[in-house]
Amino acid sequence: MILNPRRCAGSGGSASGRPAAGARARTLLNVHNTRYAPSGMVCSVDHLASAAGLSMLERGGSAADAAIAANAVLSVVAPHMCGLGGDLFALVHDGGVSALNASGRAGSGADPVRLRAEGHRRMPHLHDVRSVPVPGCVDGWAALHQRHGRLPMADLLAPAIRLADGGFPASPLMVAGALNAARRPGGSDFAGVRAAGDRVTRPGVARALRAVAERGRDGFYLGEFGQGLIGLGAGEYTEADLATPGADWVEPLKTRAYGHDVWSMPPNSQGYLLLMSLAIADGLDLPASPHHPAWAHLLAEAARVAGHDRLDLLHEGAKDLLDRDEIARRRALIDPRSRLRLRTPAEQGDTTYLCAVDGDGMGVSLIQSNASGFGSMVFEPRTGINLHNRGIGFSLKPGHPAEYGPGRRPPHTLTPALITRRDGTLRAVAGTMGGDAQPQILLQVITRLLRHGEQPGPALAAPRWRLGTGGTGFDTWEAPDDAVLDLEEGGSWADGLGALGHRVAALPSGSSFGHAHVIDVRPDGMLAGAADPRSLVGSAIGR
């Protein structure tokens, strides 16, 4: 069944702005540019951020330095996607693969009983500080810099500080949410934003970045920002919550797919969904052409059988999510001739991704997020930093392993990816924004890259599908059999998918289908990268 076109809801890590209108979007997505560079590359959603990262590579910095510098700029110029008030995950290839979890924990005052007594069945989506775990971004920078940095932190943050003080042009995707942000207490930085290119200054963010440059993570968490957060929380957080570093180096997950090892984050990230979907798809008889409806059908079914029980399985302590026998069992459920009825009882971005590779072969796949657009739409009052709402991943069901509670990390949609060859050398770094859809988007991009041999530019510009709900973008798995296949305009799958039993909806091209970026490392060491054209101002640049 083909549904009428409908406006996308936020897909957190989702629709960080309105989808680009038809003709304009089609023009953008026809840009298949793959950039090449011999000794270093940075891809991000904003050209100012990519330029800052590249400048660190040119000064002898590592890929980690470039990633921190680019992310710091994004924390200033892309508050509708990420920032100092959000969380961070990263994968690093430096001979081996390591994983950094810098997602924040709920404060000591987290009280699920109180929320349930107020009538909440799920965590508040907006305007409630209880959905704001302690932001992990700055702790992530500190940990990444300590292990892999070469340049002083002050140098890495200098471009971001200059932009926050002197001003930067509002991006087209910021404008959509800036008016609402400006109406919230603490959101005055965005009061003058009316159109793309308007100058924006963020003096409070500049002060916070200077505090990090001068005093490290304590300058942020125990300084002006931290004290403002404690006051705003009114008991949700203690100074001890903020004094404890919140970033951990953890063991990454990996799976074998398309002749490569694909790596992602362990729980509390949903990275296992990407890896399970790829492992399932690797054993399916995919058509030779991605234009065939069966290609979209089989990949979408792989994503559905991988994720239908995510709400039950994903929590910080989840183990053994990539069991080979279970992957085979789920693969066997897929019917190439029709959509599967799961019959599973259901319980009741924004995000930005960037990647960097340096001349020594270090690769960094970094994803950083507010969750929904400007996040919770709660602003720390002293610095004006908007706070994420990653706490929406918690459950309010008593006894659930992901129940909201003191010191706990919520289930997370953030899903960075890193790919290595059989000999362990770096093949690619990849990631996207997109809320629940992040594994689905990467499943398509990585399949195009590895299975079909596409270059990064065409692989990113190609039309996409996603499992849609018309809701927040974080509710896909509440009723997995009700999900519609949202199809981006320009695709060739609609009629064939309808015949296979899918309900499909045509949507305009745009950021609701993610902002993915890829750097592919060729066997001779040449770098081939691309930034997603849906980001409008994204940039892949190298040296």
- Catalytic residue numbers? 351
529 closest CA partner among 66, 6, 7 = 66
Measured in whole angstroms, how far is the alpha carbon of residue 286 from the centre of its chain? 27
352 closest CA partner among 527, 531, 99, 216 = 531
- Give the containing element (helix H, strand E) for 330: helix 324-332
Rounded-to-10 torsion of CA 146, 147, 150, 155: -30
Q: Are 468 and 505 in contact (CB under 8 A)?
A: yes
b/e per residue, 189-201, with b = 16+ CB within 10 A? bbeebeeeebebb
Residues 6 or more apart whose CB falls under 8 angstroms from that of 97 comprise 91, 252, 254, 263, 418, 420
Q: Are 11 and 437 in contact (CB under 8 A)?
A: yes
SS3 347: coil
Torsion-angle region of 407 (φ positive above 0: left; ψ -120 to 50: alpha; else: beta): left
Residues 481, 327: Cα–Cα separation, whole Å: 20
Residues 126, 183: Cα–Cα separation, whole Å: 14
270 closest CA partner among 111, 498, 101, 48 = 101
Which amino acid type is present at position 324?
Answer: R
514 closest CA partner among 355, 354, 352, 370 = 352
For residue 85, count CB atoms less than 10 angstroms from its CB and return exposed for 0-12, middle for 13-18, buried for 19 or more: buried
Residues 365, 246: Cα–Cα separation, whole Å: 19
Q: Are 469 and 440 in contact (CB under 8 A)?
A: no
Measured in whole angstroms, how far is the alpha carbon of residue 30 from the centre of its chain? 24
Q: At 196, list the tokens.
A: 């793309």
Q: Are 460 and 539 in contact (CB under 8 A)?
A: no
For residue 258, count CB atoms less than 10 angstroms from its CB and return exposed for 0-12, middle for 13-18, buried for 19 or more: middle
List of E strands, 212-319? 248-250, 253-257, 260-264
Give the 3-state secondary structure of 34-73: CEEECCCEEEECCHHHHHHHHHHHHCCCCHHHHHHHHHHH
